[in-house]
Structure 1
Amino acid sequence: MLVFLAKGALAEPFYVPSASMEPTLLIGDALLASKFPYGYSTASLPIHVSLPETGRVLASTPKRGDVVVFRWPGDRSQVWVKRVIGLPGDRIQVQSGMVYINGLATQVKPDGIGAAEDDNGGSEPARRYVETLPDGVSHPIFKLYDHGRLDNTEEVLVPPDHLFVMGDNRDNSADSRVPVRSGGVGLLPMDNLVGRVDAIVGSWDLGVRNQPVSTWLSGFRMARFFTKVN
């Protein structure tokens, strides 16, 4: 019972099933999400329970750049992870792949070439950049294409109690650029927040599942164990 209460109130582990947050998070990463930074709602429960929303208690607004775990508005039994880009009252637009917050472009600096994994275990070259938000928070992003399908969006005003979230893998993320009806997040209600991702506690390359069992230990990415998420 104490373990269940701690899991519900303090922190909870989650696993990364997709490449939408590469290069920050990899498929197979095990994350620790702290629940107390943003307060509590029915989304914070360690199991999905269909209850009417009653808002959050001890509520606090995330900061730009926070990596958050939340329940997908299209199906609250699904737990997703993205990065907070826009806060309530912000005007957000993407033009030619550049993110604009309240009319100001984020700073983007080239950072070499990386390898982006797809959900089937394959990989392709990706241009790596360091993006800096207006608050000074920096994080890596991937760009796969010169003209991605989500590189240009209409300007949106983030309403009260909502967030604009994006994946760091900008050409492979269904996020706030995509409406819920099309499989994206849309503007995320803060009542759906589960917690803030603070650390990677373990990581296993799922690609080794197709190899002989004797090689599975080689799939552990030891360098990622107990690393901080920025």
Structure 2
Amino acid sequence: MADTSPAKPASTAPKARSETSETIRFLLKLAFVVWLFRSFVLAPFSIPSESMLPRLLIGDYLFVSKWNYGYSRWSMPFGFPPVPGRLLGGVPERGDTVVFRSKGEDHHDVIKRVIGLPGDTIQMRRGQLILNGQAIPKQRIADFAVPLSPNFTTRECDAEFVQTNGEGATCRIPRFRETLPGGRSYEVLDQRYIPDADDTGVYTVPAGNVFLMGDNRDDSADSRFPSTEEALPGQVQGMGFIPLDRVQGKAMIIFWSTDGSANWLLPWTWFTAARWDRLGGGFD
């Protein structure tokens, strides 16, 4: 006798579990690929301060190439995994703009320019850079001018450098061109004489370290000043010498820039806030 009982509906639970597991596996693979790419090829970096003016503005976003100087734990996002040493290590060239991990408990990613290599001597005399006993040419050029904006206000531009006209307020700061031995040149800002920054002792860069400075010479906590754990009471704090294994990569190209006026809830402002003329800017 034929079985006339109604067929049981097929269970969808295994299929649902399979789709969920496939989605999880896909996301894990994607995260791994992104981690590999960010660790070994390119990583994004955003400019949070005015220390690298005039080359870099607050609100610039750039790619950092990771292969130039080798790989260490600080090549990885958040310094994880904490692998020892450095693989395929290389030394930057003087004048390179690099991203590195600062020292100390509050370590974070920072961008500065390489001025001194292992064995070099560095000194500042009345705002003049002295490299290995030779004064680096410093030529006065046209003032650096940038409009004041939500992410570049009078906090970043001292009142004496603010000029106002019919089109709004502009920050104008004295600008100079420095030229390193071999012809590498770049622009720096020098607003005024500051004893701690413009007159220093002689620094000798230890083996395995580099000496880094911000292009905005009067507003950069860099290797001219000892790091937090190295500073004596009352000393200005900076970065100190930076070990090569903390250098993560070389600034490559600006891929986005905003003046800070965008409202994330108003998509059209993302475009009006963009500084389109800065996109695609590279680094020598």
**How high is the TM-score relative to the length of structure 2?**
0.74
The corresponding residue for 1:195 is 249
96, 110, 121: which is aligned to 1:91? 121
Structure (1 or 2) with the larger CA radius of gyration = 2
Contact kept? 2:58, 2:152, Cα under 8 Å:
no
Which amino acid in 1 is paired with 2:283?
Answer: V
Contact kept? 1:20, 1:168, Cα under 8 Å:
yes
Gaps of 5+ in 1: none
Query: Offset at 1:134?
Result: 1.3
Change (3 A) 1:75 1:100: same
Contact kept? 1:85, 1:166, Cα under 8 Å:
yes
Alignment of 1:2-81 (within 5 A): 2-49=33-80, 51=82, 54-75=84-105, 77-81=107-111
SS where residue 191 of structure 1 aligns? helix
Which amino acid in 1 is paired with 2:86?
Answer: R
Whole-Å separation in 2 of the counterparts to 1:54 and 1:4: 19
Which amino acid in 2 is paired with 1:170?
Answer: R
Query: Offset at 1:147?
Result: 4.0
Residue 193 (structure 2) pairs with residue 127 (structure 1): no
SS where residue 77 of structure 2 aligns? coil
Which amino acid in 1 is paired with 2:153?
Answer: G
Change (3 A) 1:112 1:35: same
Q: Deviations over 1:171-225 (max 9, x none)?
A: 000000011125311011111111011111111112x258x95655322011111
Residue 184 (structure 2) pairs with residue 137 (structure 1): yes
After TM superposition, the structure 1 stretch with the greater mean CA deviation from structure 2, 138-147 or 34-43, is 138-147
Task: Indicate the RMSD between aligned Cα atoms, in angstroms.
Answer: 2.3
216, 227, 230: which is aligned to 2:281? 227
Q: Deviations over 1:137-186 (max 9, x none)?
A: 10011111134540011001101000000000000000000111253110
Query: Offset at 1:135?
Result: 2.5
Change (3 A) 1:38 1:171: same
Whole-Å separation in 2 of the counterparts to 1:58 and 1:25: 29
After TM superposition, the structure 1 stretch with the greater mean CA deviation from structure 2, 156-165 or 141-150, is 141-150
Q: Deviations over 1:30-77 (max 9, x none)?
A: 0111110100000100233373x6221100100000000000112464
After TM superposition, the structure 1 stretch with the greater mean CA deviation from structure 2, 176-185 or 24-33, is 176-185
Change (3 A) 1:158 1:193: same
Identity of aligned residues (%): 39
Whole-Å separation in 2 of the counterparts to 1:61 and 1:13: 22
Gaps of 5+ in 2: 1-31, 162-171, 229-235
Higher strand content, 1 or 2: 1
Whole-Å separation in 2 of the counterparts to 1:14 and 1:82: 12
Whole-Å separation in 2 of the counterparts to 1:61 and 1:199: 20
Aligned residues: 228
141, 145, 149: which is aligned to 1:111? 141
Contact kept? 1:148, 1:171, Cα under 8 Å:
no
- Structure possessing the higher relative contact order (Cα contacts under 8 Å, 6 or more residues apart): 1
